[in-house]
Amino acid sequence: MGEIKTFAIIGDPVKHSLSPVMHNAAFQELGLNYFYVAFRVPPDSLRESMEGIRALGIKGVNVTIPHKISVLDYLDELGKSARMIGAVNTVKNENGRLLGFNTDGRGALKALEEKVGDIDGIPVLLLGAGGAARAIAFSLAQSGAELTISNRTFSKAEDLADSIENEIETKVNRVPLEREKLKRAIDQGDVLINATSVGMHPNENKTLVTSDMMHSDLVVKDIVYKPIKTRFLKEADKVGADTIDGLSMLVHQGAKSFEIWTDQEAPIGVMREAIEEAMESE
Ligand code: ATR
């Protein structure tokens, strides 16, 4: 057995996180003597927790709600995506230097590329302008997608589109989250992504888009993974569109974190199976 290393997720709440199951399965699969634990860290303990990570030599952490932005104050260096997005979900402890990354957007992109191939020049309509949408939007724009953003609070869609245009030389379209306007944008799109929390358990019957607004040539992706088959994806099934569930983003963002920490390729299949098993037994 090699050196023992510890990894963790910090957040609040964190009890239901699937990251420990996913990463421990991956460590085991590769025969690594590494362990991944969950720590509930309320906001007023974040500073001490980050000092603790250094003091205890925890090699890497995932950061989740509500710390993804506030953690930036306690890091020594940021990767390019984290800097642009302004949020961190992955920290690597390199001999006491804490380096921050954001793998949410790249995880979503990877899940999409598995179905679509190169996203460069592909029209994508993204629903949402919150934290998750922001990470995905930057990754899509960086990869050359023809991006349109829609959000219930339209000013947030405008702000996100503006901030992408300021960082990257690209044009980002915006549409209000209104049925007819949305339908027109979907007609012109190849990819439709729900990056809002709509449809998440216990509001499983909710969707922002119904099948009559979709077409069969679409690739439809949801970031909600509880339930795995959301109403949004069921609506896509009805018109024969291709779908990508929220688990694939979860697994791919985890895989990117894993690769940042270990410099080894993540066993994606094993990670997904571990999560599915854990969800079934919940
Ligand atoms: P996260 O970090 O998970 O993205 P968030 O930052 O709170 O969470 O963002 C939630 C997203 O879901 C936002 O785009 C939000 O729209 P608003 O910006 O208008 O709040 C969207 N959302 C949540 N509930 C919604 C609803 N019932 N209808 C439409 N959009 C909703």
pLDDT per position as a tens digit, 156-211: 999 999 999 999 999 999 999 999 999 999 999 999 999 999 999 999 999 999 99
Q: How far apart are CA 259 and CA 152, in angstroms?
A: 35
Question: Going by CA atoms, what residue is nearest to atom 11 of ligand 1?
Answer: 196
Q: What is the structure's pLDDT at 282?
A: 78
Question: Going by CA atoms, what residue is nearest to atom 27 of ligand 1?
Answer: 198
Strand, helix or coil for residue 124 = strand
Q: Angle at the Cα of 204 (from 200 to 210), degrees rounded to 5? A: 100
User: pTM for this structure?
Assistant: 0.95
Give bridge partners of residue 96 from the DSSP assignment. none
Q: What is the structure's pLDDT at 1?
A: 66
Could you tell me if 174 and 126 are in contact, meaning their C-beta atoms sit under 8 angstroms apart?
no
Q: How far apart are CA 87 and CA 73, in angstroms?
A: 11
- Ligand 1 centroid – CA 105 distance (Å): 17
* From 152, 156, 208, mutation site for ligand 1 pocket: most ligand atoms within 8 A of C-beta: 152
Question: Ligand 1, closest atom to CA 152?
Answer: 19
Count of C-beta atoms within a 10 Å radius of residue 14: 18
Q: How far apart are CA 7 and CA 62, in angstroms?
A: 8
Cα–Cα distances in angstroms (integers) from residue 31 to residues 28, 61, 217, 239, 276, in the given order? 5, 20, 42, 44, 21
* From 197, 200, 203, mutation site for ligand 1 pocket: most ligand atoms within 8 A of C-beta: 197
Q: What is the structure's pLDDT at 281?
A: 87
Count of C-beta atoms within a 10 Å radius of residue 201: 10
For ligand 1, residues with CB inside 6 Å are 128-133, 151-153, 156, 196-198, 208
- Give me the sign of the Cα torsion angle 165, 249, 66, 133: positive
pLDDT < 70 stretches in the chain: 1
Q: How far apart are CA 209 and CA 172, in angstroms?
A: 21
DSSP 202: T
Q: What is the structure's pLDDT at 143?
A: 96
Give bridge partners of residue 129 from the DSSP assignment. none
Using DSSP bridges, classify how beta strands 97-101 and 90-94 pair: parallel, antiparallel or unpaired.
antiparallel
